[in-house]
């Protein structure tokens, strides 16, 4: 295996698009919290630490999932031989270490607390929680939503008037991520059964699990107008969040026929909802 292929495999382990997206969400959490008066160094440290920790979490997940991936995703770097299991583990540990150093050196105590909890969750997810019906999904959902909390904690203290919006943003992200994780588990039923995992679709049945995912998305959509109703954001927020809601509702419906397309479209709806908060905050500053 050549060096270029090995480097490519290491990059793929991080799922770079997802890792960078997590960093962007951390930035959005900070921006929603304090607006344009962002302290450069803490925000940059939080964003980079998020990207590294997310990439490291994805890599260690591939390390533990290497046997399942031989069935569900044989083109992943470890099953196809681009990266050895030990190489993936060392690479993950290195990224975690750099992220920890950034957090400890440059961020407030609240952000450090969130980072430590999330680090432990990332490391233990696959081996301890993934096979427990709904528990692993909920943990991943928290981690997805916590990027916004981490961004807010990086610029702590913040004005209490915007905290409600940050909490709603966290809940929207967590509920949407939980729905997406359940739909992804429906995709992976064959490999998960082979490995003896008892995921939610295996425990409840695929149709019931998809119904739960659709219900979670409906709750997220119902909660989405709260920042507008509280008067924190104006009509500009609604202009963007309503299309995001429609995309997520469609994705929930689509999951019953095409889980693969559903979880992909849901990701776009989630990101559009995050953009709605940026627009809402920017308009209040104008």
Burial class (CB in 10 A: 0-12, 13-18, 19+), 121: middle
pLDDT of residue 247: 94
Query: Are residues 17 and 58 in contact, defined by beta-carbon separation less than 8 angstroms?
Result: no
Token representation of residue 217 = 């998305």
Query: Are residues 185 and 209 in contact, defined by beta-carbon separation less than 8 angstroms?
Result: yes
Residues of the chain with CATH 1.20.120: 160-286
Burial class (CB in 10 A: 0-12, 13-18, 19+), 277: buried
Helix axes 259-285, 160-187, angle to 10 degrees: 170
Distance CA 59, CA 180 (A): 20
Query: Are residues 214 and 226 in contact, defined by beta-carbon separation less than 8 angstroms?
Result: no
Query: Are residues 259 and 217 in contact, defined by beta-carbon separation less than 8 angstroms?
Result: no
Query: Which CATH number applies to 160-286: 1.20.120, 1.10.3720, 3.40.50, 1.10.3470?
Result: 1.20.120
Q: What is the pLDDT along the chain (286 residues), one digit of tens a residue?
A: 578 888 899 999 999 998 998 999 999 999 988 888 899 999 999 999 999 999 998 999 889 888 878 877 888 999 988 899 999 999 999 999 999 999 999 999 999 999 999 988 877 876 777 667 788 889 989 998 999 999 999 999 888 778 888 888 899 889 999 999 899 888 878 777 776 778 888 888 889 999 999 999 999 999 999 888 888 888 889 999 999 999 999 999 998 988 888 988 998 898 898 899 889 888 877 6
pLDDT of residue 286: 62
pLDDT of residue 29: 92
Distance CA 226, CA 160 (A): 16
Distance CA 105, CA 218 (A): 41
Distance CA 18, CA 16 (A): 5
CATH number of 1-158: 1.10.357.140
HSE, side-chain direction, 13 A CA sphere, residue 128: 8
Distance CA 263, CA 74 (A): 20
Residues of the chain with CATH 1.10.357.140: 1-158
């Amino acid at each position: 295996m050549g060096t270029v292929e090995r480097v490519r495999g290491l990059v793929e382990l991080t799922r770079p698009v997802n890792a960078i997206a997590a960093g962007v969400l951390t930035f959005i959490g900070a921006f929603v919290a304090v607006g344009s008066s962002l302290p450069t160094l803490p925000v940059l440290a939080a964003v980079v630490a998020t990207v590294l920790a997310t990439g490291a979490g994805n890599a260690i997940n591939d390390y533990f999932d290497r046997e399942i991936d031989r069935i569900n995703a044989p083109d992943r770097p470890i099953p196809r031989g681009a990266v050895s299991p030990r190489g993936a583990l060392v690479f993950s540990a290195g990224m975690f270490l750099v992220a920890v150093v950034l957090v400890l050196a440059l961020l407030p105590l609240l952000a450090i607390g969130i980072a430590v909890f999330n680090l432990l969750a990332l490391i233990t997810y696959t081996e301890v929680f993934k096979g427990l019906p709904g528990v692993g999904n909920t943990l991943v959902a928290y981690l997805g939503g916590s990027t916004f909390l981490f961004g807010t904690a990086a610029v702590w203290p913040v004005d209490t008037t915007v905290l409600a919006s940050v909490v709603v943003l966290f809940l929207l992200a967590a509920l949407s991520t939980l729905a997406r994780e359940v739909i992804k588990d429906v995709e992976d039923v064959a490999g998960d059964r082979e490995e003896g995992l008892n995921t939610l679709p295996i425990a409840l049945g695929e149709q019931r699990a998809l119904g739960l995912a659709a219900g979670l998305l409906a709750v997220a959509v119902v909660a989405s107008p709260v920042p507008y109703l509280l008067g924190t954001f104006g009509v500009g927020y609604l202009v963007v969040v309503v299309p995001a809601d429609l995309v997520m509702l469609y994705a929930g419906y689509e999951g019953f026929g095409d889980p693969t397309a559903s979880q992909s479209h849901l990701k776009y709806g989630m990101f559009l909802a995050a953009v709605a908060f940026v627009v809402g905050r920017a308009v209040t500053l104008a």
